[in-house]
Structure 1
């Protein structure tokens, strides 16, 4: 008897990790695998002697799993291969499930099941033998149980005791890779139960893990968080998934149950400051109401699909949280750098008393306005699928074409230097982006008749694009693709620590 939803297992090699990460979010939940093919890769070894993580050996954590056992209540698949094919597999998926007394069901039309859940939302379900009377076993809603209390460890445990900084991790359903990410960054991690008393004197930073169920049931954790967030000498706080929701409750915001939840390894999230889009792994059925945030707090990420809140950040204090899993062992790892942000906050604040957050230091000069040369406005009936440059960020009002966000000004002018000079008007761009049209090079060499030489920008030539030797917007020093439009948002020259962590490797800081 279980709640049934489509899970977040990676279709190639994330299923063992997903099934073993149920301490976070899947306890007493049936996992339906939505892709039609079977799972031929099997399961890896479970012994710590041969299977601990070599990169984090001092933690004695199982290398291929996110907890010590399977936590899903059941597994539903279309096919199940009897012969594992992966080089590290020591048993088949069927054998692994049998060893841990987890029921599995194969031969199910999982695509039809996916469509039903998509239409009806998360459903309660039962796995029963044939000929079982329909009403002989009642449905059980796991969200009415205090699942965090059931899965949280009972006594504190220390990982990497020789670490430089002390991190307390509240176990609401902690995943092994969260411990790995903290230990690899030099932290001594003390994992405590969900209701453990929290004292800022005991740690340099506080991490709140993910977990299953309704966040409203964790009032003891919320009360402890409220005292930490209100301390006169703030310590860095980072929450993930359920931890994000608990921080929201602690500051007086509201949470709600979603109809479907967001589950999968390819959920797009927009970073609010840079408008960069990142792919994230998610598995949650509750969310934070962004409109309920108190003064001093702001959204950090927003889901690009359903516009639900994906993160919070305090405007002045070192507190932030995310709804997704930046540490997800099966990937993607786009935002694992958030653990670096947390570590930098810990290093910067430590146990010292600072009158204000540490300064980011002297930033290099960057373009503040960028000129894009596009192919003209869109007309009714014209499609914008081939707008590779992103120049159609603001269509003329008469076109009545909905385009993206980004530019504060747009103008349609003849493709000639005088025309561009007129269009530029009083905007005075100090950077230019020209991925498609050779006319940008003409502007650069147009002498006194050109728009650009007076402002000394560098024009990117047609051959310079992201995949052919160009650094793209990074060469111009712009912190996000969506900021590249002439008349673009003012003030992109300075980056916060979070923004710097979100820059691709090699981009200037």
Structure 2
């Protein structure tokens, strides 16, 4: 379910249900008192750059059609309504208003007291405002940052590594090229069978943004990859995907780990390293599958920072061994991975 927030220039805040497209919108906050004619108002170029508030309590009840349009696009940057009708009825209707808003990349807010909002505008005048529409739960940010096509780098490399781009940093690729590897980079939506068909010597699950629970299609693919018994390395988000694929759980940290001086300890050697980190979620030690052995822990809060599979040649780390920025203390992990190929 989408949510929305409207913030006025005088710091008054309205919270409600998000409608239309997800995004942030800025404009002059105005209102329209018409009981009908919302389609004509939305397509009127005179509303360009404005956040349009409809005072009539129910908007969208007779749907939308281009026959009522005053131009080819919606011109307000966003809209404000008391209630948006989800099932319009009219012989000319083509799509609900919410669908039309999404098509034109326009968001809005519903479920707020538009009477109170209009009173503020009448007393203080039109004013700048910001409206944001966002997902309430776990948005899949990976699809926003992953590449669209397969890319082959260093084709004459000695061995081949399949690198899955969940939000890949260039520095990871550079570390692999330094070690004379052929790198095949796949988009995040790739299925396991396609990767396996390339017969790579190893697979790397890259770093990336957001909550890994928002991408169940990746969980399915990683499970299949695990069945192939190909050496694997998970970095940051990739580390979390490996835990989830084997029945583990993820939880949200209070303020995350971000910086270049996060200390971790190798539980076997008792040697500590400074690491570069950027994540909001962590692997739950309590719910971790018995298939894993914990390699590293965070010295600040004892969160899980690295795993090794007890039977398969699989390593994963929560931090960034490629650094950039930050210390290069743990770049040796790439050498360790290469030795497994």
Change (3 A) 1:266 1:143: farther
Query: Normalization by structure 1: what TM-score?
Result: 0.41
Cα deviation, 1:137-170, whole Å, max 9, x if unaligned, reads 2364697422101110001001101111111000
Task: Name the residue aligned to 1:187.
Answer: 181
User: Which aligned pairs between 1:488-503 and structure 2 lie closer than 5 A?
Assistant: none
Task: Name the residue aligned to 1:214.
Answer: 211
Say which of 222, 229, 237 aligns to 1:225: 222
Cα pair 2:157 2:180 within 8 Å, conserved? yes
Distance 1:170 1:324 in 2: 17
Residue 266 in 1 paired to residue 258 in 2?
Answer: no
Alignment partner of 2:131: what SS? coil
Say which of 171, 177, 180 aligns to 2:171: 177
Cα distance, 1:244 vs structure 2: 0.4
Distance 2:163 2:219 in 1: 14
Structure (1 or 2) with the greater strand fraction: 2
Cα deviation, 1:404-463, whole Å, max 9, x if unaligned, reads xxxxxxxxxxxxxxxxxxxxxxxxxxxxxxxxxxxxxxxxxxxxxxxxxxxxxxxxxxxx
Cα pair 1:311 1:320 within 8 Å, conserved? yes
Residue 326 in 1 paired to residue 285 in 2?
Answer: no
User: Which aligned pairs between 1:262-411 and structure 2 lie closer than 5 A?
Assistant: 262-346=257-341
Cα distance, 1:183 vs structure 2: 1.1
User: Which aligned pairs between 1:433-444 and structure 2 lie closer than 5 A?
Assistant: none
Task: Name the residue aligned to 2:139.
Answer: 145
Which consecutive unaligned segments of at least 5 residues does structure 2 have?
Answer: 1-22, 24-126
Distance 2:333 2:192 in 1: 23
Distance 1:295 1:305 in 2: 24
**Number of residue-to-residue matches in the alignment:** 214
Say which of 230, 238, 241 aligns to 2:236: 241
Q: CA RMSD in A?
A: 1.9
Cα pair 1:270 1:302 within 8 Å, conserved? yes
Distance 1:225 1:243 in 2: 9
Cα distance, 1:331 vs structure 2: 2.3
Cα pair 2:261 2:326 within 8 Å, conserved? no
Cα distance, 1:222 vs structure 2: 1.4
Cα distance, 1:201 vs structure 2: 4.4
Distance 2:147 2:325 in 1: 24
Cα deviation, 1:299-344, whole Å, max 9, x if unaligned, reads 1110000111111111232101000001012220000000001100
Task: Name the residue aligned to 1:204.
Answer: 201
Alignment partner of 1:300: what SS? strand
Cα pair 2:138 2:213 within 8 Å, conserved? no
Residue 155 in 1 paired to residue 160 in 2?
Answer: no
Query: Normalization by structure 2: what TM-score?
Result: 0.60
Cα distance, 1:212 vs structure 2: 0.6
